[in-house]
Amino acid sequence: MTRKPKKDGQPAGKRDGSRSSARDRVFRTASELFYRKGIRAVGVETIAAEANTTKMSLYRNFPSKDELVAEWLRDHDVKFWQMWDAVSRKNPNDARKQLKAAFDLLAKHIADPKARGCPMANAAVEITETDHPARKVIETHKAKLRARLAELCARMRARDSRLLADQLFLLMEGAQVSSQIPGARVPASNVVRAANALIDGHLPAP
C-alpha cells in the first residue's frame, strides 16, 4: 500500500487534520532554540527545519519571527506567575516567607547547569527596537515583578518598602545575568542569603 506524501513534516494520515500539531512543533522548537542559542542567532529556516515543517507552515501560524518571539515570552510570563503563585499560596499570610520562596526558586534555577538565565532578561538585551512586539511583553512582566515585590515589602512593614523592592528586583536581575558568566555561578547562588540580609536591614528591630 502506497503511503500518502508528507505535509508539514508528517505523513498525511497522522496530522490530526489541523494546524495545531505543526504550530505546537514550531512553538516548542523555537522556544528551546531562542532560550539555548539566543533570538538573533536563530532564523526561521532553522526553526522550520528543527520542527520538521516548512517556512510556509511557520508563517501560516505566526505572522513573523518577531511575533513568535513575543508569543514565547508571553508563555514564559504565564508559567513564571503560575509557579510564583503556587509557592506563595503555601504561606498566604506571611509576606516574608513568600519572598523567601521566590528567592529559593531563583536559587534552584541558578544552580541548574542547563539554565541560561531569565528569558525575559536575555530578550531585553537582544531586542532594542521600541516597536518590537516582545518589548511590551518584557516591560509588562518586569513592571509586575517589581510591583509584586513592592507589595510584599509593604506587607512586611519595611522602613522603605519601595527602596527594598528595588534592591530585591536588582538582586534578582543581577543573579540571573551573573549565573551565565563562567566563575560567577557560585556567587550568584548566594542570592537567598543576600536577599535575607537586605530584608533584615529594612525591617524594624523586633
pLDDT, tens digit, 9 for 90 and up, residues 104-115: 999 988 888 888
Q: What is the pTM of this model?
A: 0.84
Q: Which CATH architecture has domain 65-206?
A: Orthogonal Bundle (1.10)
In degrees to the nearest 10, what's the CA dihedral of 19, 24, 29, 35?
130
Using alpha carbons, select from 76, 127, 109 the residue that is nearest to residue 175.
109
Domain ranges for the chain:
15-62, 65-206
Q: What is the per-residue pLDDT across 136-175, written as a single tens digit (0 to 9) for each?
A: 999 999 999 999 999 999 999 999 999 999 999 999 998 8
pLDDT, mean of residues 176-186: 72
How confident is the model at residue 85, as a pLDDT? 96
Most confidently modeled range among 32-36, 104-108, 188-192: 32-36
Burial class (CB in 10 A: 0-12, 13-18, 19+), 36: exposed
Pick the CATH number of 15-62 from 3.30.300.100, 3.65.10.10, 1.10.1420.10, 1.10.10.60: 1.10.10.60
- 57 torsion bin: left (phi>0), alpha (psi -120 to 50), beta (else): alpha
Q: Which three cell numbers stand for residue 95?
A: 509576606
- 204 close to 159: Cβ distance less than 8 angstroms: yes
